[in-house]
Structure 1
């Protein structure tokens, strides 16, 4: 995700300069043909092009709204994951104690349980991040990351899972069921923590819905083609009012066409927020935030620093 201070003119134009040069060349070509060949029919009537521009604006408005909604929902879901992870860490460290849970004989056993559950939660956040970016699988690099938080036996069991994050939450529930007794007070504690586990599934399901629900392909293709077609007609529809070679008119024609193409490109960049592009949800930074907060809830003094933006981009 591009942070506010990282947006520069060079960053904005770095990927768009070919389109800018294309429309500049097209505007120069239109002016040259009309001015020096005196082909009157080179100029297109403005009214039909204006109607096409109006239709294109409707398409672009719909696309931007839908793409931004997907992008913003992804960011809200990951913000919810951070907050619920903090809630889960607080519940684990304050409710699962020898005074409240009979199966916990002493503080050492309770601390070991806290460490297991919280490390598994950190693994869950990273597994979800890796799965969303890769499209499903964890991969060799992903398993190396998860080994920092999970035991070898659990890693071996997860190797056969089709959905690793789902199985991690399932294991959390199983461990809680093993520890918490049938006493009414202990069951109330279990219900509270179980509500947090349900919220993790809600977040995961929302992210998977965004990831697996593709934007309508025909709408995407036709919008892209329509924008480039109409934008390419703009220089030929504006030259009819020029009586001489006008540099200002060329610049205006270029910028007008470029604006429409840039808006369409922006919608395309926001459409899939989990692809690890510069405008996508900064899941790596959010996973680091979860790790820091949960490890400090365990009482650890030495925790890693938050991830910093690199050249204005936070991943």
Structure 2
């Protein structure tokens, strides 16, 4: 997630420089053929070009709106995870007690149970964010050259260390081996949570109604997890994405054939009064065609980069930062030594991951 006010003009120019140069070169070639070599048959009536442009505008607008909807829904889901995680920590602190126990546990044992339950929750968030960072076949934005340049400037935490190494900090060896043996590791962790609080209920360390409350919190976590997995595992419909890409390319190919003759005609009408301006006016079509092509292509590309909000780009939901923030909150609630609590992931190039 970008945290500065806006992308600079330099950022946008560098991000789209390849396409911009292609559009300038392509339009320049068509202009030379039309003006210098007299290929005046390179002329397409402006009406069909404009109609295609209108269709592209509607389709790309729909695609951008849908992409933003996916990003915003993902952010709301992880916002709900923040709230539910804090609720889990609060209830664990207050509901695990000797109040209804016939065989009271020591304070050290109670604290151990609380720590295990909270650490296991942190492990659940860790497993979930690693699952969200897993590459899908339709997540290809990291393959674009300029996107790779951004990726080289920022570091996705899930690509720096492995899930195994992270789970080691929160789980026992037995639980870690159990979780890693499952396909859906975050689900396995919630099952362990439910099993643990049931055992505490049977020992009387959790009141029956408190047990139901904690089970409701786990149910909410399952709901948030399922919603997050739905966005991750179900892409923006490929038929719309494909049609938007192909129509944008067709439109950018046709633009010079519609605009260059228009500029040539305008230049001819100006020759009598402004000879030099009219004579060379056709060459102004090159930057204008490039600008129009750049605008439509950039809108379409922005939609593609926003389709997958967990891919790890600078415009995606900062699930690593959110997860680490929750971990800090929960471990502070355990009154741990501040030196033992990890710091927040640093921003790199004004991007939160």
- For residue 245 of structure 1, the aligned residue among 276, 280, 294 is 280
Worse overlay, 82-91 or 92-101:
92-101
TM-score w.r.t. length of structure 2: 0.83
Aligned partner of 1:291 in structure 2 is: 327
SS for the counterpart of 2:56 is helix
- The answer to which of 149-158 and 211-220 deviates more is 211-220
**Number of matched pairs:** 313
Alignment gaps of 5+ in structure 2: 137-157, 268-278
Conserved 8 A contact 2:103-2:203: no
Determine the C-alpha separation between the residues in 2 that align with 1:103 and 1:293. Answer: 32
> In 1, distance between residues paired with 2:98 and 2:121?
22
Say whether 1:26 aligns with 2:26. Answer: yes
**Distance in structure 2 (CA, Å) of the matches to 1:149 and 1:118:** 9
Q: Which aligned pairs between 1:67-86 and structure 2 lie closer than 5 A?
A: 67-86=67-86
How far did residue 181 of structure 1 move? 4.2
Q: What is the CA–CA distance in structure 1 between the aligned matches of 2:61 and 2:200, rounded to whole Å?
A: 54
Pick aligned residue for 2:343 from 300, 305, 308: 305
Over 3 Å counting, the alpha-carbon distance change for 1:21 and 1:43 in structure 2 is: same
Contact 2:67 2:304 in 1 (8 A): yes
Deviation at 1:307, TM superposition (A): 1.9
TM-score, normalising length from structure 1? 0.92
Aligned-pair distance for 1:6?
Answer: 6.8
CA contact (8 A) 1:104 1:179 kept: no
Retained in 2: the 8 A contact 1:104–1:110? no
User: Following the alignment from structure 1 to structure 2, what is the Cα–Cα distance between the partners of residues 112 and 182?
Assistant: 15
The answer to whether the Cα contact below 8 Å between 1:6 and 1:312 also exists between their aligned partners in 2 is no
In the alignment, is residue 201 of structure 1 matched against residue 222 of structure 2?
A: yes
Of 274-283 and 29-38, the range deviating more from structure 2: 29-38
* Among 163, 169, 177, the residue aligned to 2:198: 177
Distance 1:103 1:115, change over 3 A: farther
SS at match of 1:41: coil
Query: Could you say if the C-alpha distance between residues 25 and 135 of structure 1 is closer, same or farther in structure 2, counting changes exceeding 3 Å?
Result: closer
Cα distance 1:182–1:159, how it changes in 2: closer, same or farther (>3 A)? closer
